[in-house]
Structure formats: C-alpha cells, structure tokens
Chains A and B, each alone.
Chain A
Amino acid sequence: GDSVTQMEGPVTLSEEAFLTINCTYTATGYPSLFWYVQYPGEGLQLLLKATKADDKGSNKGFEATYRKETTSFHLEKGSVQVSDSAVYFCALSDPTGGFKTIFGAGTRLFVKA
C-alpha cells in the first residue's frame, strides 16, 4: 500500500541555518504530495503542496519539489528562525487509494537562537 518515509528527528539547528528534511514515498498511482506542520500546542496545518511531477510547492520561505524519478519531496528552507520550531509531516493523497491522505511519522525541528 501507499506509504511515506521521513528522516528521523529531532533536528536541531541554529538560527539562520539551512534546513533539509528528507521525505520519500511509495504510491500505486500519481499522488499529490504535502507538507503539514504542527506548532507546539496547535493542530496540524498545511504548509505547502505539489500536485504533479516537477512542481514546486512553497510557503513561508519553505520549498519542496515533487521528484517522481526519486519518489521524493524533500522540505528545504534557506534560513530557519526560532519560530520554525515545530513537527513537520510529509503526506500523500493517491487517487488509486481513494484520495485519502497518508502521513509520515513526522520530524521534530528545534531552532536555537
């Protein structure tokens, strides 16, 4: 079945450092890909998405490119801030799976001032 694999955390960075969180997926069809974020004490919310190969999703300085050849959707940010400290979840929605959204295990990010 469909699945999402993320790099294990926690990831600890200093402010203004470069961030990469790896995500790879397995899907039967051609899924849409998402990154959701969960800030401390808050619910999950969509950060960005990409719906087809080579699409780049972006929001709040974060980017991720849909790479069909490597089945990856890595999250990047050029300069992290303390306020980016959160848990980040990679997810997919596959039309052959009834469009239900499947999540990875999450990667916790700590950013130090």
Chain B
Amino acid sequence: DTGVSQNPRHKITKRGQNVTFRCDPISEHNRLYWYRQTLGQGPEFLTYFQNEAQLEKSRLLSDRFSAERPKGSFSTLEIQRTEQGDSAMYLCASSTGGLNEKLFFGSGTQLSVL
C-alpha cells in the first residue's frame, strides 16, 4: 500500500492558462474522489468515479473543470482558462466504496493563480 499519490505538489500559473493535475489512487480502490479545499474550510466535493465511470459532478463546478479516469486507475483533473478564484488545494481520495467506506487522502496539489 503506497498510498494516494498526487502530482504536482504545487502549481503556480497565470490567469487564463490551463492546468492539469494527476492522482494515483491505492491500487485496489475502485472509487476515486476530487475535492477542493480553501483556507479555513473543509474539503468541498467536486466529483467522483466508480472505476472509470464518473458518477456525479458538483453543481458548483463550471464547464472549465473536467476530470477523467480513463482505465479506472489514475485520474486527471483539468482546469481550463484558470481564474484567481480557482486558487486552492485540490485533494484526491480513494476508497473501496460503500456505506462504511474510509477515504484515503493524498497530500494534495496547491494551485496558485496569479
């Protein structure tokens, strides 16, 4: 069990640029989540996958955000035309799924949009 891995750890970009983050979940976990966390707040749900299927996308997400999990393993989160309001910590978590599921979190990608 190598844990949930996220890359990069930090990303600084200029407003209007596109960015992509990667998450590698724990290998036997079929559920993968993306959350966004800003200072002083709890993780805010963005989207999640059961294997390669995207089950739900938060209504808070604009069309500039897209996530994929092409083979049910790693996942990518892309933000197009970044805005300063996108600056946050982006967290990935994985689990085996179900009512009693325990989420295992990665260390996150800190995005700063200048």
Contact = CB atoms under 8 A, between A and B. Distances in A.
A93 B95 CA distance: 12
A104 to B, nearest CB: 5
A106 B45 contact: no
Interface string A26-45: 00000010101000001111
A18 interface: no
A101 interface: yes
A49 interface: yes
Nearest to A41: B107
A32 B45 contact: no
B22 to A, nearest CB: 16
A100 B102 contact: no
Interface residues of A, number: 25
B98 A106 contact: no
B75 to A, nearest CB: 15
B33 interface: yes
Contact of B56 (A44, A93, A100): A100
B99 A51 contact: yes
Contacts of B98: 99
Contact of A99 (B43, B91, B97, B106): B97
27 contacts: A4-B42, A6-B42, A32-B99, A32-B100, A34-B102, A43-B91, A43-B105, A43-B107, A43-B108, A44-B43, A44-B103, A49-B100, A49-B102, A89-B43, A91-B42, A98-B48, A98-B55, A98-B56, A99-B99, A99-B101, A100-B55, A101-B33, A101-B101, A103-B35, A103-B43, A106-B41, A106-B42
Nearest 3 interchain pairs by C-beta: A103-B42, A43-B105, A44-B105
